[in-house]
Structure 1
Amino acid sequence: MTLRAANQPLAVAFMLTATAFIAATMIMAKSLGTDTLGPPLHPLQISHGRFLFAFAVISTAAAILRPTINRPDLKLHVGRTLFGWGGVTLMFSAVAFIPLSDATAISFLNPVFGMLLAIPLLGEKVGPWRWFAACTALLGALILLRPGPESFQLAGLLALGAALLMGMELIFIKKLANREPGFQILLINNAIGLCIATLAVLPVWSPPTAAQWGALAALGMLMATAQACFVNAMARADASFITPFSYVTLIFASLYDLLVFDVWPDWVSILGALIILGGASLLAWRERRARNVN
């Protein structure tokens, strides 16, 4: 039995909000991984900052709200956190070397991995309309990727690895969302993640500049908010339904590229974005119609 009643429209709203914040963390990571704010920081240090400040936000909220921790499944939490930390670190590595839109496009194969893994691991049924809508969105991602030799450089493979790890993380999130309160999931995930990230960063840590400290803090706070929205979305709809909506992150990434780095999308980017939105819209329309019929 789920902790929350199924509510697909609210799940979509939570997911779209999460995508806006996730894209913003990518911009922060790119600034930190290049010389924009000072000497480039190692990806392990960027992911450490992400967990450090996200945990600071969530633990402060916990001190105020004083939630009851109800028998957490530590095996699921550790598994989710390991895959999530690995995926985030690989993504932060990729965005420093290839365009943000390309890295985001490659990494957002993770909903496809998540949907495929949800079939054997969660026992979810994926009907023809879900397959069609997800494949449509994937086609848009492939158009944005502009397949070619350069797409398979090391940085591209890092982003692909991030997609696979984050796809597996989706399965753990879904299992946890069906068993534990969202706030408990966030608190434990970020606590474990901070421990893992702290151990990993020790050999490569270097003093950040003042601007980099600010960006690290912003990255952590944005990620904490995105996580809260994401967990709430996953708790209110099937993973195979809600994950394709995360493709909208590509739209926000292109918008932020324009606003922050003055990178204008070309016709290929626009075409890919429209196809992605078309796939997500088709999925939402079909699910709403099926719900009304039933």
Structure 2
Amino acid sequence: MDERNTDRPLLALLMRLAGIAGFALMAALIKLASDTGVHLAELLFWRQLVSLPILVGWAMLTGGLMQLATTRPKAHGVRAAYGIVGMVLNFGGVILLPLAEATTLSFTAPMFAVLLSIVLLREKVGVWRWSAVAAGFIGILVIAQPGGGHLPLFGAAVALGGAFMIALIAIQIRDLSSTEAPMVIVFWFSVASVIVTLPFMLWVHEPLSAHQWLLLLGIGLSGTWGQVLVTMALRFGKVSSVIVMDYSSIVWAAIYGWLFFSTLPAATTWIGAPLVVLAGLIITWRERVVAKRAFVDQRQTTGT
């Protein structure tokens, strides 16, 4: 059996957990770099440029550059378009909001995944998942407090847009992972991102201090670590199964927010976050139940 078609749930969960840890560190470094005056476009450019020599070196050490070849350039193009928009929104959410709040709003990705499954896949969604979406929406309202809360509404909207893109990207990566190795997916996304963001450097680049260069290097390294492991997790496990590990990032966000920025989540976040997390867990559980039921029905239909 082809390794790329083999589900290994425990390995996928551990990879996703380690990848989320890398992304949480990247988010903290992005906020630190932005606070020193580094432009968003420059953050995006260096985040991806640092990845390229790492990926090329990895390929050369494990079998040669031909491993980076692809037969699905259009699919990579779609993934890159989604990914670049997602990066802008997710980086923007981290810059505009406290770390814990930006992280919590990213947990709405499973809710958007439910809505996308209805629109794109024509799935029928029952009371369990609709209830979870409603609970998550209430949690968002509690955290954002529209009309008088502690969060800027524009920042909350940017973070929610990033969560939507996370759901869309996860579906696209799962499809790509059926034929492409994780290294190939990450490499071509990095190439496309560098090409798209390079022209902006002509307008936004300014001389950087040694401290800023170290932050940019850290962003690139931690982001590559996170991206490779998260992509590999989707190769070995289903989106609905591995996405549960994303919730570990709230712990890291709270720790980094306290260590680096001397901030702790607001009381409304502690109230709303459990609702958002619970919504995601219910959706994840329900999707697994539905998938198992469909598998049993298929076996009974085919007589196997």
Q: Fold-level match, TM-score > 0.5?
A: yes
154 and 140 in structure 1: CA distance in 2 versus 1, 3 angstrom threshold: closer
For structure 1, which runs of at least 5 residues remain unmatched after alignment?
none
Deviation at residue 245 of structure 1 after TM alignment: 4.0
- Alpha-carbon deviations, 1:68-117, whole Å to 9, x = none? 24543111111111221222123323333332223233344333223432
Matched residue, 1:191: 191
User: Which aligned pairs between 1:39-78 and structure 2 lie closer than 5 A?
Assistant: 40-67=37-64, 68-69=67-68, 71-78=70-77
Aligned length: 290
- Give the alignment's Cα RMSD to 1 decimal: 3.3
Aligned to 2:96, the other structure's residue is in SS state coil
274 and 132 in structure 1: CA distance in 2 versus 1, 3 angstrom threshold: same
Matched residue, 1:84: 83
* Alignment-mate amino acid for residue 190 of structure 1: S
3 and 105 in structure 1: CA distance in 2 versus 1, 3 angstrom threshold: same
Matched residue, 1:222: 222
**Is this contact kept in 2: 1:42–1:204, CA < 8 A?**
yes
Between the aligned partners of 1:236 and 1:119, the Cα distance in structure 2 is 25
Residue 178 (structure 2) pairs with residue 178 (structure 1): yes
**Is this contact kept in 2: 1:118–1:240, CA < 8 A?**
no
* Alignment-mate amino acid for residue 210 of structure 1: A
137 and 259 in structure 1: CA distance in 2 versus 1, 3 angstrom threshold: farther
* Alignment-mate amino acid for residue 227 of structure 1: Q
Aligned to 1:3, the other structure's residue is in SS state helix
Give the fraction of aligned pairs with identical amino acids, expressed as a percent: 26
Matched residue, 2:5: 4
Matched residue, 1:25: 26
Between the aligned partners of 1:206 and 1:231, the Cα distance in structure 2 is 33
Between the aligned partners of 2:204 and 2:273, the Cα distance in structure 1 is 37
Deviation at residue 196 of structure 1 after TM alignment: 1.6
Between the aligned partners of 1:174 and 1:204, the Cα distance in structure 2 is 35
Deviation at residue 4 of structure 1 after TM alignment: 3.2
88 and 118 in structure 1: CA distance in 2 versus 1, 3 angstrom threshold: same
**Is this contact kept in 2: 1:121–1:171, CA < 8 A?**
no
Deviation at residue 268 of structure 1 after TM alignment: 3.6
Between the aligned partners of 2:148 and 2:237, the Cα distance in structure 1 is 38
**Is this contact kept in 2: 1:114–1:239, CA < 8 A?**
no
Q: TM-score, normalised by structure 2?
A: 0.79
Matched residue, 2:205: 205
The structure having more radius of gyration, on CA atoms, is 2
Structure 1 stretch displaced more, 86-95 or 279-288: 279-288
For structure 2, which runs of at least 5 residues remain unmatched after alignment?
297-304
Between the aligned partners of 1:206 and 1:194, the Cα distance in structure 2 is 18
